[in-house]
Amino acid sequence: MNDQKQPPPETFLTTKEAAKFLKLKPNTLEKCASPAAARRFSTMVAACATTSTICMLGRMTIARNRHPMSEYFINVEIAFFPEFLNNWLRFDAPAAQLKLDRRRSIAFFRRAQVFGYVRWQANEYGRQTWRFFIVRTRGPHTQLSCIAGIQPGAELLLSTAGRTKVKRALQQIETLETNGFPPADVSPNHYRHVHNRIATRQAIRPYTAEQHIAYLTARTVLP
């Protein structure tokens, strides 16, 4: 007699249920059944369906497994479709990662983690959308910012849009790493400073060792 517990059967949504979740019409969802078909039909609809489906599948899988997700997590959508969509983490390692398929996964972060998140999208007409966020995860019952790809939200430290501004922000991350500062441990005030200076097209003050030591010391005594 086999005493091992059998896993519960997988739950699948009907086309109408999935269309309601994605806020699309059932006929539209059927046309977006594959990335190739979605690219020919509507890039914007495909991007919405891709990111929403990642979040939906991740919650369903976690609900089935139940372990080790009893702790509070912030989930981040990771996706890569060549020449179409690329959502990826610039720095800091997640506490756990759930792989949905070879192109999609969900990264889980504990509270008080700081990480960089890049979102890039292109369509068949050559238009590209660049976004870069640096966020700090917070616990429940705290004020959060709604950020695309991050559920339920996070504290926004830096936000840039457009290829030029995103590249400038990424260069600041490279400078921090070159100077020996782990980006995940840098003072949030410095990222707010970088955000303001990029938005106003002004020079960015360098991050110093004195600032870093002061922040690390304060972090040991403050919640």
Q: What is the pLDDT of residues 90-149, one digit of tens each?
A: 999 999 999 898 899 999 999 889 999 999 999 888 889 999 999 999 988 888 999 999
Mean pLDDT of 146-153: 92
Express each pLDDT in 158-172 by its tens digit. Answer: 999 999 999 999 999
CA distances from residue 37 to 29, 32, 42, 63, 191 in whole angstroms, order as listed: 11, 6, 9, 30, 40
Please enumerate in sequence order all residues whose Cβ is within 8 A of that of 69, keeping only pairs 6 or more positions apart, or say none: 62, 96, 108
* Contact assessment for residue 172 and residue 192, using Cβ atoms and an 8 Å cutoff: no
pLDDT at 45 over 80: no
Angstrom distance (rounded) from CA 21 to CA 60: 13
Please enumerate in sequence order all residues whose Cβ is within 8 A of that of 119, keeping only pairs 6 or more positions apart, or say none: 86, 87, 129, 130, 131, 132, 133, 148, 149
pLDDT band for position 18 (cuts 50, 70, 90): low
Percent of the chain with pLDDT over 70: 68
CA distances from residue 182 to 33, 65, 116 in whole angstroms, order as listed: 41, 33, 12
Please enumerate in sequence order all residues whose Cβ is within 8 A of that of 75, keeping only pairs 6 or more positions apart, or say none: 55, 58, 106, 107, 108, 109, 150, 151
pLDDT at 27 over 70: no
Angle at 179 between CA 86 and CA 91, to 5 degrees: 25
How crowded is residue 23: how many other Cβ atoms within 10 Å of its Cβ? Answer: 8
Angstrom distance (rounded) from CA 117 to CA 125: 25
Range of weakest confidence among 4-13, 59-68, 188-197: 59-68
Place of tokens 């949504």: 13
